Amino acid sequence: MNWFRKVFFRQSSVPEVHFEAPPVLQALPAYTPLPAPQPPELRKVTSSSALPSFQTPGSELGLSFHTVEGENTRNKVRDAFSPSLPITNPRLLAGRTEALKTLIRAVEDLKLHIVIYGERGMGKTSLLQILKQLAESAKYQVVYHSCGEDAHFPDMFRAIAAEIPLLYYEGFDVASADRRHTGSLASLLPTGDFNVSQLSDTFAKLSNTRVLIMLDEFDRSPTGLFRRNIAQLVKNLSDRSVKVQLVIAGVAGNLSDLVEHIPSIRRNILGFRIPELKPTEVQQMVSIGEEISGLIFDPEASAQVIAMANGSPYLAALLSQYASFGALDRGASIVAPVDVVNAVAQVADELRARLSDASGEAVDRALVDGWGATLHTFANHSMHDMGCLDADTVQGVLADRRFLDVAEQLRETYGLLITAFDEKPERYRFREEGLGSYIWLRLAENGVNAGRQPAEQA
Ligand SMILES: Nc1ncnc2c1ncn2[C@@H]1O[C@H](COP(=O)(O)OP(=O)(O)OP(=O)(O)O)[C@@H](O)[C@H]1O
Ligand SMILES: [Mg+2]
């Protein structure tokens, strides 16, 4: 019998060897294979359990033979629209050409440090990720670091320096077998804590490369000493023409909210407010999604996504993903307006679930009292103006009511708006992040439209 050879030498060029089965095996009953294990039932809910199930296997091992109808397309939809993950694949990036040109010019020609700021979900991390890839393909050393509340200047920069090979240290001697040179720039830093000038001295020793250090989620980093150190580092690196540039990104309404001591470094940085996605760019996001998922958006459905996203890439991705799933659930390959309408309701629910009870209930009360159209107008404005509500921008659409009276009423009676002592006088914001988008979608869902005249109490 030749089973051994068949199993183990199928692909080999080993000369054929004939093995006779040992007598003990011949005496055994014929081998009956065990039934192959069934793949897990992925989407079926049995009558004994009403619990929902995961719809996609967490591991692909052993499941290559298993296909769930439509699951492939669902996965493609997830790839195409990924609202919870930043874009890292340039093919998925919609628009942003002008933004990237501006940033590249600032890095390359102007040798500036960059501070990207803007509202949550506007695509800052996605922009950083693509800029990183573009810079790497131009042979920059790029280190991406996400800041946390416990960011500690020396620890953070030691970790960053650990990603920069000593190959770029000016004293590096390729021919030398000096073991110091086989590691990273971190080995040149003083042990224990170090200050900004010691770090700048180390960075100044870099040659033959330019380095970009990306500090994302900078809004989470501690205010005070940490941010002052960063400003000082920008100043030192610029003054000494060190080939290291910082690209900082974070949620903020303006530059000085993010980085301290801006006046001292204003000439050394490009403050870049990330623009909202233009309608053509949201359309591009939908088209890219169509290409990847194989689904088609009815033109009216994509127009609805564009309108409802209101410039937010996050909302555009979320709505497109839910609408695509809606179409698949109907067994359709065309995403119809009804799918977007359902998606708006789902996203509104999702945003509501993330708000505090107090905010959600305040909206409910205000709507019962007839504030719908005003809230819709305020939500719309805040989404286009970094969350700000100012008399000069909102007054024009309030007909004969005074902005300040209306805003005060929404603040005092419902607690929906706040003012902050360090803001421009008479500037209001919604009391909680995400409240503006929630109101916007919830009222879209209720059929309130932006052009409707407010009919509430003055
Ligand atoms: N240019 C783009 N093209 C396609 N999708 C985008 C683009 N920009 C952002 N997105 C989508 O929007 C979502 C939010 O983007 P991203 O995480 O980059 O925003 P962010 O500004 O870094 O958010 P946060 O303030 O929460 O850190 C991403 O998950 C992605 O799906
Ligand atoms: Mg981000």
Same domain, 158 and 257: yes
The pLDDT, as a whole number, for residue 61 is 55
Same domain, 107 and 213: yes
Same domain, 151 and 268: yes
Q: Is 257 exposed, middle or buried (0-12, 13-18, 19+ CB in 10 A)?
A: middle
Instruction: Give residue 217 CA to ligand 2 midpoint distance, Å.
Output: 6
Q: Is the pLDDT of residue 6 over 50?
A: no
Which ligand gives the minimal distance to the CA of 95?
1
The pLDDT, as a whole number, for residue 401 is 87
Domain that holds residue 349: 279-353
Ligand 1 neighbour 125 (Cβ under 6 A): yes
Ligand 1 neighbour 317 (Cβ under 6 A): yes
Cβ neighbours of 249 (radius 10 Å): 26
Query: Candidates 126, 272, 284, 354: which one to mutate for ligand 1, based on the most atoms within 8 Å of Cβ?
Result: 126
User: 51-65, 162-176, 252-266, 316-330 — which is least confidently predicted?
Assistant: 51-65
Contacts of 149 (CB under 8 A, 6+ apart): 220, 221, 222
Instruction: Give residue 289 CA to ligand 1 midpoint distance, Å.
Output: 15
Same domain, 342 and 359: no
Same domain, 113 and 181: yes
Domain count, the chain: 3
User: 38-47, 83-92, 266-275 — which is least confidently predicted?
Assistant: 38-47
Same domain, 198 and 232: yes
In three-state secondary structure terms, 288 is helix
Dist CA 359 CA 278 (whole Å): 29
Cβ neighbours of 315 (radius 10 Å): 24
Q: Is the pLDDT of residue 229 over 70?
A: yes
Ligand 1 neighbour 126 (Cβ under 6 A): yes
- pLDDT band of residue 7 (cuts 50, 70, 90) is very low
Residue 334 lies in a domain: yes
Contacts of 255 (CB under 8 A, 6+ apart): 115, 117, 262, 269, 271
pLDDT digits (tens, 9 = 90+) for 320-358: 999 999 999 999 999 999 999 999 999 999 999 999 999
Residue 198 lies in a domain: yes
Same domain, 337 and 241: no
Ligand 1 neighbour 82 (Cβ under 6 A): yes
pLDDT digits (tens, 9 = 90+) for 292-313: 999 999 999 999 999 999 999 9
Residue 8 lies in a domain: no
Point out the ligand 1 atom lying closest to the alpha carbon of residue 81: 31
Same domain, 111 and 229: yes
Same domain, 259 and 294: no
Ligand 1 neighbour 406 (Cβ under 6 A): no
Residue 63 lies in a domain: no
Ligand 1 neighbour 83 (Cβ under 6 A): yes
Same domain, 224 and 367: no
The pLDDT, as a whole number, for residue 176 is 59
Ligand 1 neighbour 235 (Cβ under 6 A): no
